[in-house]
Amino acid sequence: MILPEITTVVNDFSSISITHSTLLLWFEENSRDLPWRRTRNPYHILVSEIMLQQTQVDRVLPKYLAFLEQFPTIEDLAKAPTGDVIRAWAGLGYNRRAVNLQRAARTVLEEHSGVFPRDVAALRALPGIGPYTAGAVACFAFEQDVAFMDTNIRRVIQRLFVGPEEQGIAGEARLLQIAERAVPVGQGWVWNQAIMELGALICTASSPSCWRCPLHRECRAYNTRRVTDEQMFDGELTVKPQTRPRRVAERREAPFTGSNRFYRGRIVDALRNATANDGLSLDELGRRIKDEYDQSDSEWLLTLVNALAKDGLITFDGLAVRLPA
């Protein structure tokens, strides 16, 4: 597969500057008013980015506001009992994110005197913070002109600068290189927000709305497909709806109900709902999370409990299972 030379795409100054101005104008007129776009507080940005990683914007919105009301500053989060942070995470799923978020807050307090590090490398050194989150905080809190990848950004960069996915997906390093060159100087914040917004609202995974995309004239995927279709239909100016090749992981997705992740979630939910924090005995916990729980399940349950304890999500002293104090 031959990928287009990036120098011919992004270094084409006239074309990239049209892409910049068109997308930024579209963003100004069409973006959603989201609370994490109104702040540059790095702690608030970090909370939003961790929540948004595996959860939809609509579900995150009320949780984000409630979380910051309960833990308004990074000190409040660092000093809170971990169990309270896990309780505040109810409804978001992937509870490990809550524990990691608090670990990051504690590290900022203990190792950076409570002052958030600004550069990507120092942000990456915080526990639970990967390349995406480090880039997002550097950009959205500190307005640095950096590039980073999540699924939306990856898809938009691929289509805009490389071409349709079905003709070959560029590797991560290459996409990141393209994304870095595409950031307009001094406008990283709004550019990255706009790319994300385009991916969320227009350039979606399975049914992109190319007909109302502000960038279709500049878009490699759109233009490649248009040319192909014109050839196929002998001059007809239509663009077939894009069908996305499903990823292998999607096709073979294991059932969630009954999986270990499902029961891990149920254990944390059962402990959230247990009155006070006296905890539950292993057997009582088993009965609350699994229909027809019996003694033959106790070894399985103990394995799950030990794994959750290792991740810092619960404690188990041999008698009672609890959320961490």
Active site residues: 49
Residue placing its CB nearer to ligand ADE in the complex, 47 or 126 = 47
Q: Across the chain, where does the E strand assignment appear?
A: 280-281, 315-316, 320-322
Residue placing its CB nearer to ligand ADE in the complex, 71 or 140 = 140
C-alpha span between 63 and 97 (Å, rounded): 14
* Under rule CB under 6 A, residue 36 binds ligand ADE: yes
Going across the sheet that includes 320-322, the strands are 280-281, 320-322, 315-316
Q: Which of 20, 49, 146, 170 binds ligand ADE (CB under 6 A)?
A: 49
Residue placing its CB nearer to ligand ADE in the complex, 57 or 90 = 57
User: Per DSSP, what are the bridge partners of residue 315?
Assistant: 322
Cβ 88 to ligand ADE shortest distance, Å: 19
Cβ 154 to ligand ADE shortest distance, Å: 13
* Under rule CB under 6 A, residue 189 binds ligand ADE: no
C-alpha span between 325 and 315 (Å, rounded): 9
Applying CB under 6 A, the site for ligand ADE has a residue count of 8
C-alpha span between 260 and 206 (Å, rounded): 29
Cβ 193 to ligand ADE shortest distance, Å: 6
15 class by beta-carbon count within 10 Å (0-12 exposed, 13-18 middle, 19+ buried) = middle
**CA gyration radius, the chain:** 23
Residue placing its CB nearer to ligand ADE in the complex, 41 or 224 = 41
Q: Which of 126, 147, 194, 196 binds ligand ADE (CB under 6 A)?
A: 196
Q: Can you give the binding site for ligand ADE, defined by CB under 6 A?
A: 34, 36, 49, 52, 57, 140, 193, 196
